[in-house]
Amino acid sequence: MKYVDEYRDADTARALSTAIAALCEPGRRYSFMEICGGHTHTIYKHGLEDHLPEAISLVHGPGCPVCVIPMGRVDDAIALAEHEDVILTSFGDMLRVPGGRGSFLDAKAAGADIRMVYSPLDSLKIARQNPDKRVVFFAIGFETTTPSTAMTILRAEAEGLGNFSVFCNHVRVCPAITAILESPDLNLDGFIGPGHVSTVIGCAPYEYVPRDYGKPLVTSGFEPLDILDSIHRLLRQFAEGRCEVENEYGRVVPWAGNPRALAVIDKVMEVRETFEWRGLGWIPESAMRLREEYAAFDAERIFAVPGVRVADPSACQCGEVLRGLIKPWECKVFGTACTPETPIGTCMVSSEGACAAYYNFGRFSRARVKEATLR
């Protein structure tokens, strides 16, 4: 397929792989975190680690929007959906995320009207078709999807749609990166930076990472060659004694981001003082809420949201996985109590979650497979 196959070429990968190995200092180990769940998915789906020398290990970061939603927010949304006249709309990958008392799918089976949408605008369509119902869109995502939620609210306002609102769970990537950098047990050499988020916010917001924390960051595309190229660029920074923000995804990411998208977010939303993240706890200024002017579209103001707080299950080590302290398979319940069919932690739910990606794609002994296929 044009514009895709070029970024999945095995010969180019092998050449990059050789160049990467040559840049590794003998005896040194490198630990890089890919922040985005989309990158994690790519890494496993294409078997990218087969192209990396043993000295490099990849740590899977918190950039999976459904993975970081705390259970309490799921319960709150279900409470909204249980209103007789409410239709809750959500992206498909959110449906299976477990809350304190089940997932959206469970609530749907019990009678709540919860519908999957592909775009927030689909929710507007549902609102128009059901004037006697109140449609609540469960908005999630990093800055990538925040503009489309904001645009949808502006559209609803322009149309005078009084039966549409948003339960806003939009999060911001930089505070999460900071939380990881502030973690006392930090063991990272650099970051493969967000791709789609950066199309909106640009590269400038990451400049504090090399400046204040001494870690290089390369914003990366989502094709496997993009990720290999980004790893190569990180290593080259070490080799050349540089430490900076680099843009590997220049074909899509402008350095200054997308000013129009940022303006739309700023018009409709403001930064929350603090927000709870699954596994990471409360992070200051890490999420968005609707501005007072758009209160009419804010489910948190329209409804009496219970504000449920659910502690992460004691066996769950999602937080350590999300901070890169342990590999998915090192979690106490990985693959036994916690599987994609019965996820305990959110990292196991979405295909972008580190645990699900490892379980679905990487759950085999590389040494054994190498031996088996050489035979």
Partner 1 sequence: MNDPAVSDPAVQDPAVKDRETRAGWAEEAVRSARPHGHGVTEEQVLERIARARARAPRIRDERITLAHGAGGKATHTLIEAVFLEAFRNPLLEPLDDGAALSTPAGRLAFTTDSFVVSPLFFPGGDIGDLAVNGTVNDLAMCGARPMHLSAGFILEEGFPVADLRRITASMSAAAEAAGVTIVTGDTKVVQRGKADGCYVTTAGVGLLERDVALSAANARPGDVVLVSGPVGDHGITVMLARGELDISADLVSDTAPLHGIAAALLDVAGDGVRLLRDATRGGVATICNEVATSSSVAVVLEERAIPVRPVVTGAAELLGIDPLYVACEGRFVAVVAPDRADAALAALRSHPLGEGAARIGTVGDDPPGLVLLRTGFGGTRIVDLLVGDPLPRIC
The region that residue 335 occupies, defined by phi over 0 for left and psi between -120 and 50 for alpha, beta otherwise, is: left
Query: What is the residue whose two structure tokens read 């930090």?
Result: 186
Quick check: 66 and 93 in contact, CB under 8 A? yes
- Cα within 13 Å of Cα(363), Cβ side: 15
- Considering only residues 222-241, where is the footprint of partner 1 by CB under 8 A? 224-225
Q: How far is the CB of 142 from partner 1 (least distance, A)?
A: 17
Q: How far is the CB of 38 from partner 1 (least distance, A)?
A: 10
Task: Please tell me whether residue 36 adopts helix, strand or coil conformation.
Answer: strand
289 binds partner 1 (CB under 8 A): no
Residue type at 202? G
- Considering only residues 101-120, where is the footprint of partner 1 by CB under 8 A? 118
Q: Of 51, 73, 134, 278, which lies in the binding site for partner 1, with binding defined by CB under 8 A?
A: 51
- Considering only residues 325-344, where is the footprint of partner 1 by CB under 8 A? 340-341
Q: How far is the CB of 49 from partner 1 (least distance, A)?
A: 7
48 binds partner 1 (CB under 8 A): yes
Task: Please tell me whether residue 217 adopts helix, strand or coil conformation.
Answer: strand
CB atoms within 10 A of CB 6: 11
Those residues with Cβ within 8 angstroms of residue 206's Cβ, 6 or more apart along the chain or in another chain: 174, 177, 191, 193, 217, 219, 245
Q: How far is the CB of 359 from partner 1 (least distance, A)?
A: 8
Task: Tell me whether residue 125 or residue 332 sits nearer to partner 1 (CB atom).
Answer: 125
Beta bridge pairs of residue 361: none
Region near partner 1 per CB under 8 A, out of 48-56, 64-72, 234-242, 249-257: 48-56
Region near partner 1 per CB under 8 A, out of 7-15, 81-89, 255-263, 309-317: 7-15
Beta bridge pairs of residue 287: 171
∠230-236-239 over CA atoms, to 5°? 155
142 binds partner 1 (CB under 8 A): no
Q: How far is the CB of 126 from partner 1 (least distance, A)?
A: 12
Q: Of 31, 45, 208, 320, which lies in the binding site for partner 1, with binding defined by CB under 8 A?
A: 45
Beta bridge pairs of residue 171: 287
Those residues with Cβ within 8 angstroms of residue 303's Cβ, 6 or more apart along the chain or in another chain: 80, 83, 136
Return the DSSP state at 332. T
360 binds partner 1 (CB under 8 A): yes
Quick check: 323 and 277 in contact, CB under 8 A? no
46 binds partner 1 (CB under 8 A): yes
Q: How far is the CB of 263 from partner 1 (least distance, A)?
A: 27
Q: How far is the CB of 119 from partner 1 (least distance, A)?
A: 9
Which residues form the interface with partner 1 (CB under 8 A)?
Answer: 1, 4-5, 8-10, 13-14, 44-51, 96, 118, 122, 224-225, 340-341, 351, 359-366, 368-369, 371-373, 375
